[in-house]
Chain A
Amino acid sequence: MDPDDRVVAGYTYAARYRYSEQVLLSDNFLRIAAYADDRQAPLSRAVTTTPSARAVQFEDRFGNLTHRVRLTAPHQELEILAIGMVRMAKPQAVPADVALEHFEYELFAERFVAPSPLVAPDKLVAAARDIAAKPSSLLECVSRITDWVHANITYDRGSTNVRTTAEDVLASGRGVCQDMTHLALGLLRSLGIPARYVSGLLSTQAGDTHAWLEFFHPREGWLPCDPTRGQFIAAGNDLLKFAVGGDYTQASPVEGNFVSRGSGWLEAVMAQVLPNGDSVSFDDARRLIDAST
């Protein structure tokens, strides 16, 4: 890709957790660093927590840069911050279409037609056949499914939770971006199209993280598709990718467990993309979450 086709963006992420009693130990996997692929080149990536703790970072089996933080200092509040700079590709043209039967997956793509903990494709086959209505090509199939999910699932905070499956979403007709993504993933997979969950940031608005999906195009590789916004080929640099996985359980921004007599909750989360290429600091992340609470 020509360097002129790229723009530099910064991002900040901040989340605050509170606990009703002291937490003795908490162990966290953080997938809140910009993903590296041919559309998105991280220039810098950093993660920190308060209280602070020794962390390790590694690329997990999906290529997600994961920060593993284990806290043993007693605490009742946990703040997680991430910042970084990314060089992003400009929006791509709609790629050439291909006939569905000419599909030959690579091994790594094949993994994403398989079931994942919240997405069971074999239970969605009948619905998928109805919705896709004998598509003549890959893009037609993806676009019909995306449109259908966008038109038929009502965006509704509070109707679902982190354990809601794709089937549940189809049955209830309600959910948030993560649920719409799960349903679309399941429908695509049930028709044999490899599709994976993506967690990241939507550059057009500050707020919580966003979820969308990528489907596998035999010539173009993984292409973004955003059922929540009804974009079957999502605009490239509207989306800043953090992590990919089979579904939310494998790509969620924060996965953790803690030991405490009490309960814990996410008090606030606030992230943003700064498309102008200015550098960012942890203080920027903090200021944004302070302003929102």
Chain B
Amino acid sequence: MPRPRAASRKADVLTSTLDLPRPAADGPVREYVDADGAVHPMYQNLMSAAQQLGPQGLRERWRRAKRDVDVNAFSFLLDPKTFRSTPTDWIPRIIHKDEWDRIGAGVEQRLKALNMFLLDLYCGTQTIVPDDVIYSSQFFYPDYQGFRPAKDVFVHVYGIDLVHVGGGSYVILEDNLRIPSGISYQLKAVEISQRLFPEFASAYQVVPYDIAAAYRRMLGSLCDSEDPTCVLLTDGKYGAAFFEHRYLSDLLGIPLVDGSDLYIGVDGRVWVKKLDGDAAVDLIYRRVEDLEIFVPGLTEAYLQRKVILVNGMGTSAADDKLVFLWVPEMIRHYLGEEPILEQAKSYDLIDQETMRYVLGNLDELVLKVRQGYGGLGVYILPDMDPSYRSRLARQIIEEPRGYIAQETIDFSKHVIFDDETKTFEDRYVDLRVFAIQNGHGETQAFPGGLTRVARSDGRITNNSSGGLCKPTWVVR
């Protein structure tokens, strides 16, 4: 369908006056422009505002936002003891509510199915994922067999990584069930962008949501007592996500504690040290990896149901890049539904035919270390040197259970403004969406998410790989 003339002319003007990138026509989808390279109707108001500010004005605004970020210590730990302010690009990513509704429903569907799978794994007789895959994982804990968590919720806070492949279609790359991080960056980026860029925000109606209320309802739904003692367990101020821990503790009004603040009492309960007398803890929102190391005896207290854990240890069995392969089957089996969102086609290398296919097509695939964290265990093979590829081939032959292969997806780019050079540049972006599940059987995905921007030379988008983040607005 041809677009109206007026809009087209306006878009062309914008493209030329803002000096937006003009890549080859067959490149990746660019979310802010149409197929023919003119600014997308949803972005026209935003780009007009940017045009009015001009490169110098944008630079001023970027610097002011940077100061705001610094003052708020909106930060990410890069390497031990070096914090850096979260690098952010302030041109928002805009997702229409109709498009979001489908994403949100798909995320909630997946969250429910994963939780039911974990219940079945520990308390039932799951037959979806092969025993060898589950039981050989270092993140499966045999001592949890038979354990039922409070209100049957294993996965309370869920993060899922998606990419946009164009036309409003999103494809899932990964699930994060243990300690999904980044929700505070989602909130903070939106908050700062709306406050400091009123001319961007004025023309849009951003769908509101209340994360604090949803979290409080979740915490309350799990505890039997009227006024439960809840704490947020952090790995300390040199942990990568300390900003987030502090932010959430403030937002939810629950104390931030580290392992040394907690101990197991003679009654077998977990106690928190306080100046005005120690208190028994009802619930721990855990944000650390190895609970038993931070609080010796915690596993036993948890298994004895003396304390509730948010995102308890059991979640990790499904937080496995290999278990990912079977999630669509979980959705069909436990919910009797077809998956709403597609996921990246993935390969289990234990199957010899599959291995042969993967070895023959390495230059087209992504290889992920199964137990890896962050972007460090992700190899995008088409972007790699052939000699490096053959080294990886050898590694997967030696340890086929240590990796999964995934098809390479042509996902979308978005535009960023570089305030140093005052130029625009297209970069790959992904979307981490967060959702919550409470003890009343409710799930809720929070509109938008955290858009992560890859470095200019790559496709890996997470913070530890040196990317940026972007405010993400869901608009009506």
Interface residues of A (CB under 8 A from B): 24-25, 27, 29, 53-56, 58-61, 66, 68-74, 107-108, 110-111, 114-117, 246, 259
Contact = CB atoms under 8 A, between A and B. Distances in A.
A69 B140 CA distance: 11
Interface string B346-365: 00001011000000000000
Contact of A54 (B142, B296, B399): B142
B401 A61 contact: yes
A130 to B, nearest CB: 24
Closest 4 CB pairs of A and B: A107-B352, A58-B131, A58-B135, A114-B397
Contact of A70 (B131, B141, B399): B141
Contact of B131 (A53, A59, A73, A108): A59
Nearest to A110: B352
B293 A27 contact: no
Contacts of B352: 107-108, 110-111
Interface in B392-421: 394, 397-401
A61 B399 CA distance: 11
Contacts of A60: 132, 136
B202 interface: no
Contacts of A108: 352
Given A24-B296, A60-B136, A259-B293, A72 B350 contact: no
- What interface size band does chain B fall in? 20 to 34
Interface of B: 131-132, 134-136, 138, 140-143, 145-146, 290, 292-293, 296, 299-300, 350, 352-353, 394, 397-401
Nearest to B299: A72
Majority SS at the chain B contact face? helix
A56 B137 CA distance: 12
Nearest to B397: A114
A212 B270 CA distance: 50
B135 A115 contact: no
Contacts of A66: 135-136
Contact of A117 (B292, B296, B399): B399
A122 to B, nearest CB: 9
A99 B293 CA distance: 57
A115 B398 contact: yes
A24 B293 contact: yes
A53 B143 contact: yes
B347 to A, nearest CB: 15
Contacts of A59: 131-132
Contacts of A24: 292-293, 296
Contacts of A25: 292-293, 299
A70 B292 CA distance: 12
Contacts of B353: 107
